[in-house]
A = this chain, B = another copy of it.
């Protein structure tokens, strides 16, 4: 039996937010595209501890999908999502519809000039513009004091942090650590696309990160050497096609050739037709 408050219209959500603010409540927002898994739930737990009112948005944002991407087939199960959110003591689930968020004549976008020109932004050139725009809209509707995003989408988190700073949004951004299946696969709604064989090949992403961490522990400092080794590891798995493997600065996302400080290793790999991402911070000890 669901006791959670489900709000579907922008005006109702704005009115509720205004009311919460008037009452001095601290609002925490966790934006999601639904089809919730343990990764999301871990963000809800973080959010739950941070404020008085935990609001989860569920919205598959068309603006961040390019033509040919999986907007139409993106997995959805609102009933199950509501039950899970309820169990995690989410106060409000906000489920706007696309027509309301992108009405006729919609034409205003938020975009960043540098961070998207790395990693996922290279193969998905309009993705972060879509993300920054919808997150700005959700922030303006929900008016959170705090928002929580997963570190699995590391570049997205970097983009949001930069956007919040640049546009003077008075919102604290918290990143939640990657949650993995027992076998190491990073949780993702898109894992549901994988066949059993592909699921097995998909483990190579985390294996690549583990191998990279071991190499760095063993004293390797040249990024190229690590990238070559993990490229080979991933390619040895059937149905894999590497989009990118990068070792870069965690803030600017600029490539780093010699690992003389903590760096981000990030990768995107197609397994069959499913594009998966994963990442880890590599910390070279002196």
Contact = CB atoms under 8 A, between A and B. Distances in A.
Interface string A65-90: 00000000000000000000000000
Interface string A12-24: 0010001001101
Given A22-B24, A24-B22, A14 B170 contact: yes
Given A141-B168, A168-B141, A110 B109 contact: yes
Contacts of A115: 107
A98 interface: no
| Number of identical monomers bound together in the oligomeric complex | 2
Among A10, A18, A22, A169, max chain B CB count under 10 A is at A169
B111 A167 contact: no
Nearest to A116: B107
Given A10-B168, A168-B14, A108 B110 contact: yes
Interface stretch (A54-62, A132-140, A182-190, A205-213): A132-140
A162 interface: yes
A106 B141 CA distance: 25
Given A21-B21, A22-B24, A24-B22, A166 B111 contact: no
Contacts of A141: 168, 170
A109 B14 CA distance: 24
A24 B22 CA distance: 7
Nearest to A102: B166
A166 B110 contact: no
A166 B106 contact: yes
A163 interface: yes
Nearest to A101: B168
Contacts of A109: 110-113
**Which of A18, A167, A252 is most buried by chain B, counting CB atoms within 10 A of its CB?**
A167
A273 to B, nearest CB: 31
B107 A166 contact: yes
B110 A18 contact: no
A151 B221 CA distance: 60
Interface of A: 10, 14, 18, 21-22, 24, 101, 105-115, 132-133, 136-137, 140-141, 143, 162-163, 166-170, 252
